[in-house]
A and B are shown apart, each in its own frame.
Chain A
Amino acid sequence: NAGVTQTPKFQVLKTGQSMTLQCAQDMNHEYMSWYRQDPGMGLRLIHYSVGAGITDQGEVPNGYNVSRSTTEDFPLRLLSAAPSQTSVYFCASSYTSGHTDTQYFGPGTRLTVL
């Protein structure tokens, strides 16, 4: 299994540009989520999904959209990039949305918005 994969690894955008961060998992996990990591703030949840066709907002959803058309894929869209969205983005998945389930993380995408 490849686990959780993310593309691209690095991206530089100009303010106002849009882009999609890709996330895929091959473990048949039900639950997927997106986090952003900023220095001294740990990881903050952006959006999550408990199954195909079901998504919901996390702690910091503004400026981001998600969709979950298949179990495997959970892309994160930045509609109009802003410098405040400069961060490292992690996708994670777990077998279910159960509270005890371990989350598995992708390698991350480092995004810079100029």
Chain B
Amino acid sequence: AQSVAQPEDQVNVAEGNPLTVKCTYSVSGNPYLFWYVQYPNRGLQFLLKYITGDNLVKGSYGFEAEFNKSQTSFHLKKPSALVSDSALYFCAVREKGARNYGQNFVFGPGTRLSVLP
């Protein structure tokens, strides 16, 4: 069965500092990996995804994520945090080749990022 872990409930970082939001996954095959962001009282917005190819994926709003197959991780990063980046971040995984479209998209529990001015 697939699973996603986001080991930190909360990440605090000062504005201008680099930020990292961690994600590890478990699938029996190869993964497709996604990051979504949720601002207060809003739906989830897509940030970026890893499908294949370059392990470093660049996404919206200056975010990037690095796929590390040996560590089964897909950490979200940004070189310089903004106060406006404060939100809830979700990592999600889909198993490549899985036949059940409904049950193969698994979200992590979310990490709340607070960027302090």
A binds B: yes
Which of the 9-residue segments B14-22, B72-80, B107-115 touches chain A? B107-115
Query: Across the interface, do A45 and B103 meet the contact criterion of CB distance under 8 Å?
Result: yes
- Residue in A56, A59, A92, A102 whose beta carbon sits within 8 Å of that of B49 in the complex: A102
Query: Closest approach, in angstroms, between the C-beta of A26 and any C-beta of chain B?
Result: 15
Query: Across the interface, do A99 and B94 meet the contact criterion of CB distance under 8 Å?
Result: yes
Interface SS, A side: strand
CB-CB nearest in chain B for A4: B43
Query: Across the interface, do B46 and A102 meet the contact criterion of CB distance under 8 Å?
Result: yes
Query: Across the interface, do B102 and A100 meet the contact criterion of CB distance under 8 Å?
Result: no
CB-CB nearest in chain A for B102: A48
A57 to B41, CA, bound (A): 27
Task: Give the size of the chain A interface in residues (CB under 8 angstroms).
Answer: 29
- Residue in B101, B102, B103, B108 whose beta carbon sits within 8 Å of that of A42 in the complex: B108
Q: Kindly identify, within residues 33 to 80 of chain B, every residue whose CB is under 8 Å from any CB belonging to chain A.
A: 34, 36, 41-46, 49, 51
Instruction: List the interface of chain B (C-beta within 8 A of A).
Output: 4, 9, 32, 34, 36, 41-46, 49, 51, 90, 94-98, 101-105, 107-110
In the complex, given contacts A33-B105, A58-B102, what are 10 additional A-B residue pairs having Cβ atoms less than 8 angstroms apart? A35-B107, A40-B9, A40-B109, A42-B109, A44-B107, A56-B102, A97-B101, A99-B95, A100-B51, A103-B105
Which 4 interchain pairs have the tightest Cβ spacing? A105-B43, A42-B107, A105-B44, A48-B102
